[in-house]
Amino acid sequence: MGLAVAVGIASEFTGRLQLTVFPYLLERLIHVRHDPSIALPDLSRLIRMDPAFCFLAIRLDRSMRSNATATDPSGIDGVVSRIGLAGIDAITTQAIADQALNSIHHRQGLALGWLWRHCLTTALLAQGLALTLDYRPVEDAYTAGLLHDIGKLALFARTPAACAPMLTDSAEALPLLKAEEQVAGSDHGRIGAQLIRRNTEAWFAADTAEYHTAPASAVVNALPLVQMVWSANRLAVEPHPSSEAYQTASSLLNLDAQQLNRISRAAQEQALMVASELGGMPDPPEKGWTTEPITIPLSQAIKISTVLSSVYQNLLTVTGHSAIMRVLRQSLSVFLGIDALIMVDHDPNSNLLIGRFAAGNNLLRRIDRLHIPLTASDCLPVISHVSGETVNSFSAAQRRKLTIIDQQLIAYMQKEGIVCMPIRSSSGDGNAMLLLGIDAGEWPWVEQQTTLLKAIVAAVSGALERERQRYDQSVRRAADRAASALSKTRKIVHEINNPLSIVKNYLKVLTLRTDDQSSAKEELRIIDEEINRVTGLIKSLAFPSESIPMDLETLDVNATITDILGLFRESLPGDTAIVLEQDLDAHIPAIASDRNRLKQALINLLKNAIEAMPDGGTIQVISRMLEAPSRPFGSTEKAGHIKISVCDDGPGIDEAIKNNLFRANVTSKTDHDGLGLSIVHEAVTHLKGSLLCESTPGRGACFHIELPTGDNETENRTALDSVT
């Protein structure tokens, strides 16, 4: 019996599904899709008319989403908005490819048309019942009604000749429905429920599909959605439902017959209007059933060409590794039913295969933790990488040899087996590989589509190679621009140094002409030091900061603090309310450090403190010797440490920026670039010191610089300690 074969195959479906789209709607969707004036909602309207298209869209949406959120739009319109035009093109191409390979005869076309209109009418009826009964969300009722016979559609797609009588002749339907139960221990309702649960997030529709053929006595104790779809299925019978159907639905839903009749007639009329809009259905012949096919079967090569044209079109419209991998994920899901995949790259430095990308509803995001050593020479990924050949876990020989790594990967992907495919570039080189999770029931069909699978992977491989080339070119262009900018900067630095050198020479002349006892001589010394610091800062523009070694000298920390405070006191306006105080520990020894870096840090901290108190306040600079640092410096050496604190009694640090305080462009002040503290952070790090912050909102802030007095080459760390 053909139906027995169909049920046996469909009951094992876990992967790619073959569902026949109503031909007239498919033709209409293709026409509308290429109209530039048509928007996404117009396409959504067509997709929500067909159970096969609806199922494929929901399935693709589930495949493409890692985690659903409460804010995601619900219903079929929400699904279409998420998969977008690329997703619509993908499922349309699948429908074209499937129906191009199948010869649907006239009688089978009638059967398909009847099933399509019955599903649409049931959906519209379920929607009307939900509105009348105030069931929410109404969209769930429509979707469940549209998908309730998806199992029957799956059977039809496999063996349309066997299923056509079941759909067009009620006399033949009952024995064939009983045959389903006898053959597979399941009927089309259970098959449909299984397909919905395995392939979509429309869990609410699975029960309605499973129980829509149950007896009325059982449905009495079912949930409201099951009762509504069950009733809608019986009221959608053409040309009109029986009085018994009205009575049963009326008792079940507690609605009178007039209400049900009004809802039923409205749904029937709307379904007929849709059929008329799409061009109707084929008329039955005058004498017998014709055997002429409606469509002409095409070769496998044409199918592959059709699929690849869609894949190439999508690849041409995207850029970036993530977008390309999205096309791969979508293509494998739509055309081959493969939803679980991992990409690994070979890292020659560690000799490991490292996870770079994972897709699937149950795969962890931290795929970079997957490390497969090439020394594990017997596991499938390593065998595939070394040989350059595709290998799988389904052959009898391989099943006996599966290693723990193979079993871990299979369990991780929550499938029954894996296929490992090297990704080769056009030059033949390749360090990447795809690991595909596949169930045993899917494998025979997927294996038959090996040519298509390799063609899709090859197309994506080419796109990834082009993306790498574009990236390399952008890196080279950026390096060229940086080199050009550096060359110009060095020329400018050279020219700036010339007038600075002249200024320094005049300072020397002025110093020689100044009395040794004059206070001006000390001021000239400070000016000379500041010019030296400016020279150093300008030099840093032309050379990377990490390439400039510390300018170590014997440094009197307290004297440096005194000089800086003197400069600030002299430069403050006469009417300022800022008070600068110092509390310096006389026991602090001289240390070997970079004077300019320390001055840079302290000047920026003082400047920030002054700007934080526009109405005045007190700033105190304190120096102390410490027995141990407040934060570990990464060294066990028992060297002394100096702590320099800059404290103010201003408003304190804004809570919103406290955790990112030392990042560039982070500030709570208006008309400021937010660079001061990031410069302090960089300078203290250069000094092998530690930078800490204490702040209480409304009570000021203290910044603490801790420096080792011993080995400055010891690696130290900079920390932010915010105390509230």
pTM: 0.49
Whole-number Å distance between alpha carbons of 576 and 341: 67
Reading the block at residue 540, the tokens are 């840093």
For residues 341 and 361, is the Cβ–Cβ distance under 8 A?
no
128 SS3 class: helix
For the stretch 490-512, pLDDT in tens is 778 767 877 877 877 777 778 77
167 pLDDT band (50/70/90 cuts)?
A: low
- By the 10 Å C-beta count (0-12 exposed, 13-18 middle, 19+ buried), 478 is classed as exposed
Query: Which class is 335-448 in CATH?
Result: alpha beta
Region of poorest pLDDT, from 102-116, 332-346, 381-395, 592-606: 102-116
pLDDT exceeds 90 at position 64: no
Q: Cα 4 to chain center, whole Å?
A: 43
Q: In which band, very low, low, confident or very high, does the pLDDT at 344 lie, cut at 50, 70 and 90?
A: very high
The DSSP code for 497 is H
**Does residue 665 have a pLDDT over 70?**
no
- 317-324 mean pLDDT: 85
Write out pLDDT tens, residues 615-661: 889 999 999 988 766 655 444 445 678 999 999 988 888 776 776 67
Strand 591-594 versus strand 552-555 pairing type: antiparallel
Distance CA 681, CA 477 (A): 31
- How many angstroms separate the CA atoms of 422 and 435, rounded? 9
The helix-helix angle for 106-132 and 150-158 (nearest 10°) equals 170
Specify the higher pLDDT residue, 290 or 684. 684
Give the pLDDT confidence score for residue 425 in this predicted structure.
Answer: 65
pLDDT interval class at 693 (50, 70, 90): confident
Residue 231 pLDDT class (50, 70, 90 cuts): very high
- Could you please report the per-residue DSSP string of 666-706? --SSTT--S-HHHHHHHHHHHTT-EEEEEE-TTS-EEEEEE
What is the Cα gyration radius of the chain? 38
- Burial pattern 684-720, b for ≥16 Cβ within 10 A else e, equals bbbbbbbbbbbbeeeebbbbbbbbbbeebeeebebee
Flag whether pLDDT at 573 surpasses 70. Answer: yes
The pLDDT assigned to 16 comes to 52
pLDDT tens by residue, 251-261: 899 998 888 98
Closest by Cα among 552, 590, 583 to 565: 583
Q: Which two tokens stand for residue 717?
A: 């760390």
552-708, what's its fold?
Answer: Heat Shock Protein 90 (3.30.565)
pLDDT at 305: 65
Query: Over 60: is that where the pLDDT of 180 sits?
Result: no
Per DSSP, what are the bridge partners of residue 434? 343, 421
pLDDT at 607 exceeding the cut of 70: yes
In angstroms, the CA 463 to CA 467 distance is 6
**Lowest mean pLDDT, pick from 400-409, 508-517, 633-642:** 633-642
Q: Are 691 and 680 in contact (CB under 8 A)?
A: yes
pLDDT tier, 564 (very low <50, low <70, confident <90, very high otherwise):
confident
Nearest to 556 by CA among 614, 519, 599, 514: 599
Q: How much is the pLDDT for 81?
A: 87
Using DSSP's 3-state secondary structure scheme, residue 708 falls into strand
Residue 215: how many other CB atoms lie within 10 Å: 9
Bridge-based pairing state of the strands 578-584 and 617-626 = parallel
Beta-carbon contacts of residue 448 (< 8 Å; ≥ 6 apart):
none
558 pLDDT more than 70: yes
Per-residue confidence (pLDDT) for residue 133, from 0 to 100:
92
Lowest pLDDT segment from 350-364, 393-407, 534-548, 583-597? 534-548
The CATH fold assigned to 2-65+73-278 is: Hypothetical protein af1432 (1.10.3210)
Region 566-574: mean pLDDT is 79
Mean per-residue pLDDT, 577-597:
88
Show Cβ contacts of residue 486 under 8 Å, excluding neighbours closer than 6 positions: 542
The yes-or-no verdict on residue 123 having pLDDT over 50 is yes
Predicted pLDDT of residue 682? 84
Who has greater pLDDT, 459 or 283? 459
DSSP track, 29-61: HHHHHT-TT--HHHHHHHHTT-HHHHHHHHHHH
Average pLDDT over residues 378-405: 87
d(CA 253, CA 458): 55
- Could you read off the pLDDT of 206-230 as tens digits, one per residue? 999 999 888 888 898 999 999 999 9
Q: In terms of C-beta density within 10 A (0-12 exposed, 13-18 middle, 19 or more buried), how is residue 512 classed?
A: exposed
Q: What is the mean pLDDT of the chain?
A: 78
- Residue 429's pLDDT band (cuts 50, 70, 90): low
Higher pLDDT, 525 or 683: 683
With a pLDDT cut of 70, the percent of the chain lying above it is 76
Please say if the pLDDT value at position 3 is more than 50: no
Sheet holding 578-584, edge to edge: 578-584, 617-626, 641-648, 701-708, 690-695
Q: Average pLDDT in the 700-716 region?
A: 71
